[in-house]
Structure 1
């Protein structure tokens, strides 16, 4: 949810070098249909009245880029969910302690009611006339119709993690800046990418035993963090005009610690290179002994990373732009790996991911 920006806040423009991503470009063949159906779905629940906002986001394209190989009905669920998520995220909450208390009180009840509805669609615990509640009833019915009970439960858990992460963010005391480790752990939940991963799991029919192996959990987390870092770089300029951006954006957090803006961007990209190299190496390792379904699942995770990056490249002139143009100048994508990327980051929340590599890779650990 978007806090009221301070008076006089000015967005900042940045330049970003080519970003390393060796995953090939892909897009779902039903991209246009996904968007048109999502727009109609938004109108059904009264969320699509701001046509400029809808056009700036284009969640149909986002779903098509991030889930290019799944059945169209699963991609449609994610397209619709993406719009609902961003509508919640972009909802203004005002400023001051009373506004925050109101948000926290609502979210504390909202999260368990949504999760319960995903498990029992006709439970009657969400308001059918509420624009942020009624859509979940529809999504719950569609999830149940399309997935197994285990896959439904996994999706519900992913939504719980996402909304719980948002609640965690909202409980951050006003003006307090988290540690980098806390920020990373919190954002891995609040980003919501686990919901997309759960839909990939349903589409590929990967078994629970393989899906929940520690190395695969590490890859799911790594894919999410890659999406987070791309989001934070591209949204940095716009969030410069928001209240306490250092609690919601890694570039701002590093700048708050004393780095110049270009140095902060560079540090985020160094961490991104480390995580991408881990993602590539660990994916290759796990695929050698995994089932065809697990290999498809890991390929699906890689599509999430590349698709989100492509969406942000498109979005630099839309969602994260201001009236006089884009806030990010970008050199595109490169499939050429970086040179030495140094030691794994000293962040307990994610350091364990590297423990699942069979042997130290010289490019990672030198």
Structure 2
């Protein structure tokens, strides 16, 4: 039987190189106090109990994140609660995976998926995670069309399933990273960007017309934005991934593909993000150039045009938050196989 050889990890001092973004970053004018609101909400919904989890959660500034990626939201508190919930779920599945079996974690995901019925018949919640998701879904989906509900629910299932995937084998995240093509496909699914983009319509209380929302042209714009945002996250989070021995991130994949140093892999990643940002801008311009094909009146097209602007501001807002937040700078290093202290045990 072949012996597994752990891949070389990046130095803990590795820093993220500059990332180009031509879109000005904005912050919601009602951002003050949003992080305090979220801390109160996660405690009230029993998502966070421990002091370590509460301190890390509040310091990360997930409310600030929402205020930067949804800078013109009319329902800022609601989308901020969604983002806070999703960060907690992501940490629970991605960093807390060593607790319990894969089957138990898959059961948790199925329970979460069950909280998103399109007909809004709320199922019975089994704990804090499911209860919080059910409440978010009921308050959100009731304001949206059936088509939007289907789209969001599909994207949410993808997020949960592909966050689980790297840990289906307990040793998988310690192995050499996958090839670039497979990584790009999986990263788009587990990034959570698609459901977050759907929530732009929740934030602004206005849906993108279905004829455009289901088009490949609009999809191309979103995919480019997804790649920019998720790859940028990978670059900033390399210190946290290093602390867990996790190789499922962009720099590790590029280094494995091309050889060279970690610094060269990050520089390559920065170049790719710039190229994708330019592609996003061009894809948005292409869609605007063929607006007449969709047969929308001025008001309906305004919704499309605004959504393209919102996607650009998501890119800018996410980047500015990553530069600001201590989430990926102040990292708790754990021994191999140990779960960070801020992972809440009561959630599963």
Please tell me the TM-score bracket, short chain as reference. Answer: 0.7 to 0.9
Unpaired runs of 5+ residues, structure 2, are 1-5, 292-300, 334-348
Cα shift at 1:301: 0.9
Q: Deviations 1:276-334 (Å, cap 9, x if unpaired)?
A: 1111111112123332111111111111111110110002x34432479xxxxxxxxxx
Q: Contact 1:233 / 1:251 at 8 angstroms: preserved in 2?
A: yes
Counterpart in the other structure of 1:213 = 215
Q: Contact 1:165 / 1:190 at 8 angstroms: preserved in 2?
A: yes
Q: Deviations 1:58-114 (Å, cap 9, x if unpaired)?
A: 11111110011121x2x323211222222222234364xxx57x1x31343333443
Counterpart in the other structure of 2:123 = 124
Q: 1:320 aligns with which of 309, 329, 334?
A: 329
Counterpart in the other structure of 1:23 = 23
Distance 1:55 1:27 in 2: 18
Distance 1:220 1:40 in 2: 33
The two structures have a TM-score, normalised by structure 2, of 0.80
Counterpart in the other structure of 2:306 = 296
Distance 1:47 1:59 in 2: 14
Distance 1:19 1:278 in 2: 15
Distance 2:314 2:255 in 1: 28
SS across alignment from 1:32 = coil
Change (3 A) 1:41 1:255: same
The two structures have a TM-score, normalised by structure 1, of 0.76
Distance 1:94 1:323 in 2: 16
Distance 2:96 2:32 in 1: 32
Counterpart in the other structure of 2:261 = 260
Distance 2:106 2:17 in 1: 41
Distance 2:330 2:36 in 1: 23
Q: Contact 1:121 / 1:137 at 8 angstroms: preserved in 2?
A: no
CA RMSD of aligned residues (A): 2.5
Number of residue pairs the alignment of both structures matches: 306
Cα shift at 1:10: 8.2
Cα shift at 1:131: 2.4
Q: Contact 1:143 / 1:152 at 8 angstroms: preserved in 2?
A: no
Unpaired runs of 5+ residues, structure 1, are 1-5, 325-366
Cα shift at 1:122: 4.2
Matches within 5 A, 1:183-332: 183-202=183-202, 203=204, 204-243=206-245, 245-246=246-247, 248-257=248-257, 258-290=259-291, 291-315=301-325, 317-322=326-331
Distance 1:191 1:287 in 2: 26
SS across alignment from 2:208 = coil
Counterpart in the other structure of 1:151 = 148
Cα shift at 1:227: 0.8
SS across alignment from 1:88 = helix
Counterpart in the other structure of 1:180 = 180
Q: 1:67 aligns with which of 70, 74, 86?
A: 70
